[in-house]
Structure 1
Amino acid sequence: MGADGGSIPKRDELVKTKAKAERHDPALFLAVSWFFCALSKEPLQEPIVSCGLGKLYNRVAVLQYLLDKSHYGDAEAICGHITSLKDVTTLHLTPIAADQTSTPTSNTAVKATMALANDANLTPRFVCPISGREMTGKIRFVYLHPCGHVLAEQALREVHSGSTCLVCSTAYDPATDIVPLNPRPDEIDALRANLAARKARVKAGKKDKKRDKKRKSTDTPSSLAVDKDAVDVQQPVVKKQRAVATVNMALPDMPALKPRTAAIESLYAKPEGGDRGSSSATKSAVTTDFMTRGTVRRIG
């Protein structure tokens, strides 16, 4: 009792119960997911990109986030896994033809999101290029990571094309390269695992390319290959050939001796007359030889 003259408190006023889980309006959630950027909350405008978790973004909003992480308050919670433009894929969407009538979204979705979209037009703008189904969120759409083409999941499943895109024939891995747009909450963990697998595959590919490039730089063609042992053997041979060429080199033509003058001939005058063995001849040779002239030498 309240002890204040008859007021009786109820049980829910005294006992704190567990708060009920917040429930979102499915129509509102559908419109926000398929017609608005998950980061900037603005209407989707091409170019439109998607991350490995299947969320839709305006490319301009992603660029603003990469330049300034604090530009959007809840950016880390929404796209904290995006560190560069390599982490997003530009989507190739097929617009609805001008003569093709488009079915607007339900009245509930339109009324619930008009305030957020500033009277934006929430009629579908894109279709599946295979089945022609409109991308309104009522059916599941997926995109292929290698090429970015957006297709209806049912069309991709029914039209068997192996592992190539139905639009551009680009090869893809069915296990990891098919990303659903706006997936269910129970699919997020599997998408994170696929995202990690793709990053590991890209990293391994870079290592292989670097290894191949290094191998090509070391493996020169046979015509240009130079063996170190061959160089060591050829160097003495080359030196020997150079020495032989130097020895066998033709000498230059020597100029002819000029004739001696009379003064030079007088220095080399031979003894005249008398016997070579006589003392007079010896004396004459001594006196006429310029090398012994003026010297005394004992003869005998």
Structure 2
Amino acid sequence: MGCDGGTIPKRHELVKGPKKVEKVDKNAEIVARWYYCTLSQEKLTKPIVACELGRLYNKDAVIEFLLDKSPEKPHADSAAHIKSMKNVIEMNLSDNPAWAGDKGNTKGDKYDDQCSQFICPVVGLEMNGRHRFCVLRRCGCVFSERALKEIKTDVCHKCAAAFHEDDLILLNGDKQEVEGLRRKMDERRLKAKMEKKSKKPKAAVSVSQPDQVEDSLASSEAPDAKNNQPRDKINFVSSSKATADASSASFERATTSSSAIVKRPMPCSDEKSEAYKSIFTSHSSAKRTKDQSSNWVTHTAYYF
């Protein structure tokens, strides 16, 4: 069973000590951050986007993440702060002319130094994780931190768009830098909410303006001090008088022109003959006595 034949056991063979903490390979961690998508764990291919915390994603993976409404999403913790496509920045990257693509070392007979696909357009440093890179939140252009320190300007070196220091987002920073970016992100979103709330009262004021117009119209109809009539009504009366005079003149012309037409006089009721009056049931000849009327009633009680 061991420990026989004169063997002497050592302490680590008899006593179980604490397990050693597994150390993460720094090179593997750099490759995972700078060469692979945080959500899909696939290689980064254009179009590439960055969140407000400086993490890199494939744009297709972010869209699929937002469309997926299932409660258990893969890697949901790493992208929980992304609520819409407005929360990500599409990166304007500069290609590296020395990058040969995936076909550069097919045989495996030479050392692969992880040549990066993108570089800094100002200094020429490769975006491979060994150098710190920043992205501008407004235009999406990517530069190395060394280039921004050496050439200090308020205008983008690539697209000439103005920016501030708050628009700079450090890519793949450490924990403290990510916490600082998270605080800035929360402040920006809170400020945007406050601006939306401040715009709502302005909309209410614009809606109340038609009421003010109606009040002004009502004040214009206020009675005049001399005539005790509204000003608008006085103008309306004067215009109505003019239209009345014009209509009366036209009516007189029409009556004079139609005077030539002969109209037949309506016969008076006293001049009607007895034969004409006997047609109607109201005539005395149409009335019958009780002996002549029948015992049963119809809609016309004149049938025997």
- Please say whether Structure 1 and Structure 2 have the same fold, judged by a TM-score greater than 0.5: yes
Instruction: Give 1:78's aligned amino acid.
Output: S
Number of aligned residues: 235
Which position in structure 2 is the counterpart of 1:169?
160
Deviation at 1:204, TM superposition (A): 3.6
- What whole-Å deviation, never above 9, does each CA across 1:139-171 have from its counterpart, x for those lacking one? 111101111111001101111103x32222323
The 5-angstrom pairing of residues 98-247 of structure 1 reads 101-102=98-99, 122-162=114-154, 164-174=155-165, 176-208=166-198, 227-233=216-222, 236-246=230-240
* Partners of 2:221 and 2:231 within 8 A in 1: no
Instruction: Give 2:137's aligned amino acid.
Output: H
* Partners of 1:48 and 1:58 within 8 A in 2: yes
* Partners of 1:141 and 1:180 within 8 A in 2: yes
Deviation at 1:245, TM superposition (A): 5.0
- What whole-Å deviation, never above 9, does each CA across 1:221-269 have from its counterpart, x for those lacking one? xxx997245333278333344445555743444979x9xxxxxxxxxxx
Deviation at 1:183, TM superposition (A): 0.7
After superposition, the CA RMSD in angstroms is 4.1
The 5-angstrom pairing of residues 30-69 of structure 1 reads 30-68=30-68
* Partners of 1:39 and 1:72 within 8 A in 2: no
* Partners of 2:54 and 2:178 within 8 A in 1: no
Which position in structure 1 is the counterpart of 2:94?
94
Instruction: Give 1:34's aligned amino acid.
Output: W
Q: 1:212 to 1:246 in 2, by over 3 A?
A: closer
Q: Secondary structure of the residue that 1:157 maps to in structure 2?
A: helix
Question: Which 5+ residue runs of structure 2 have no aligned equivalent?
Answer: 224-228, 260-304
Which position in structure 2 is the counterpart of 1:85?
85
Q: Secondary structure of the residue that 2:173 maps to in structure 1?
A: coil
- For 1:169 and 1:233, the matched residues in 2 are separated by 60
Question: Which 5+ residue runs of structure 1 have no aligned equivalent?
Answer: 105-109, 115-119, 259-300
- For 1:12 and 1:194, the matched residues in 2 are separated by 53
- For 2:153 and 2:214, the matched residues in 1 are separated by 48
TM-score (norm 2): 0.63
- What whole-Å deviation, never above 9, does each CA across 1:56-112 have from its counterpart, x for those lacking one? 110111111111155985422211111111111101001123xxx3599xxxxx9xx
Q: Secondary structure of the residue that 1:227 maps to in structure 2?
A: helix
Deviation at 1:52, TM superposition (A): 1.1
Deviation at 1:125, TM superposition (A): 1.0
- For 1:201 and 1:169, the matched residues in 2 are separated by 27
Which position in structure 2 is the counterpart of 1:24?
24
* Partners of 1:103 and 1:124 within 8 A in 2: no
Deviation at 1:126, TM superposition (A): 0.7
Instruction: Give 2:94's aligned amino acid.
Output: T
* Partners of 1:35 and 1:122 within 8 A in 2: no
Q: 1:144 to 1:211 in 2, by over 3 A?
A: farther
- For 2:14 and 2:72, the matched residues in 1 are separated by 39
Q: 1:13 to 1:137 in 2, by over 3 A?
A: same
Percentage of matched positions with identical amino acids: 29
- For 2:17 and 2:167, the matched residues in 1 are separated by 48
